Structure 1
Amino acid sequence: LGAAAGLGALIAAVPALGIGLKVVGSVYLLYLAWQVVGIADVEEADIASAPGFGQSVAFQFVNPKAWFFVLSAVAAFRPLRMDLIVGALLMAVVVMVIVIPSAGLWAIGGDALSRFIRSPRAHRAVNLALAIVLVAMVVLIWV
């Protein structure tokens, strides 16, 4: 809601903030790509120590990907002729309607893919492919 209430306008008014977000986002995505390439095989102990539902929900408030998504969605799609709060609430509902099923499908796809990635070689190949996609996203941020 904060993004819909003017954070996007602030970034549009102060181009240096937008560039700063691009730099921070790019560095973060490159860091994630590096981490993905370096991931060893997932062990049962790693799965057991994964964050719970509450921790995952709390993380979304500091998740850079979530903030970039919301800022982009608001900048592109917030209804300008609506009251600010009504438009922000409408955006929040639309985003939830889209993101919740999408995230569910992503999780189902990840689970299905994990059934085929049993060998360390296949695991490394998938990690490399995902890292390449992350690096490609950095390129797309700047074009």
Structure 2
Amino acid sequence: MNITSFLLYCFIVTCTPGPTNIDILSTVHNQGTKKGMEYTYGATIAFGLLLAISAMLNTMLITVIPKILIVMQIIGSIYMLYLAYQIYRMDSSKPTVKQTGTFKSGFLLQFLNPKVVTFTMTVFPSFILPYYTAMSALTISVIIITLIGFSAFIIWVLFGTIFKKFLQKHEKIVNVIMALFLVYAAIMIWM
């Protein structure tokens, strides 16, 4: 397993804008850092739970239907390219859906977030299961990826707190850079 590609992939996908990261940024912007952190804790716990469920499901699917890996890689790559396009087109001047910034809302959003579900279902067959199938290796992978996700969420909290005015001023450039990172992550699935 190429550890560098795996870590880079996890970092890029969890750090690029998606519903959770945008909600974190919005919560920090509208309700402050404390509420942003509360939301982040809920999102992190749900993210780890989704990773654990995904590890189990993928292990079963790979043994029952070995060709599922290719299908999941294709679906994941296409969705990430779609997200990259949406980020490129994003206009923050339009009103966003109001959220409450609570632990519960952070937790629940993860189960409704297609970016997270796609990521959790593709990271194992793309990077881990071809090399490791032992429960201990999958458990360590879940913990590592959860910590990477938590780090990404914290980055968004800090980013929103520190660079609020800069982000508003250079929104299009930031969106293009984030979109390019997602395109790169979609390509990494095939390498």
Fold equivalence (TM over 0.5): yes
Q: Deviation of residue 142 (structure 1)?
A: 1.0
Output the CA distance in 2 between the equivalents of 1:94 and 1:133: 21
Match of 1:49 among 73, 76, 98: 98
Q: How far apart, CA to CA, are the structure 1 residues paired with 2:85 and 2:146?
A: 30
How far the C-alpha of 1:125 sits from its partner, in A, is 0.8
Identity of aligned residues (%): 21
Give CA-to-partner distance per residue, 1:55-114, whole Å, 9 cap, x none: 43223235322333466676389782xxx5x77666655554554344223431344333
Structure 2 match to 1:25: 76
Inter-partner Cα distance in structure 1 for 2:107 and 2:186: 25
Q: Does the CA contact (< 8 Å) of 1:32 and 1:134 recur in 2?
A: yes
TM-score normalised over the length of structure 1: 0.67
Q: Is the 8 A contact 2:132 2:138 kept in 1?
A: yes
Residues 3 and 74, structure 1, Cα contact 8 Å, conserved in 2: no
For 1:77 and 1:115, the matched residues in 2 are separated by: 45
Question: 2: distance between equivalents of 1:14 and 1:70?
Answer: 15
Q: TM-score, normalised by structure 2?
A: 0.53
Structure 2, unpaired ranges of 5+: 1-51
Query: Secondary structure of 1:142's match?
Result: coil
2:157 to 107, 110, 114: 107
Work out the number of aligned pairs and report it.
Answer: 135
Q: Which has the larger radius of gyration?
A: 1
1:132 CA drift (Å) = 0.9
CA RMSD, 1 decimal: 3.3
Q: Which runs of 5+ in 1 are unaligned?
A: none
Q: CA deviation at 1:129?
A: 0.9
Instruction: Point out which structure has higher relative CO (alpha carbons under 8 A, 6+ apart).
Output: 1
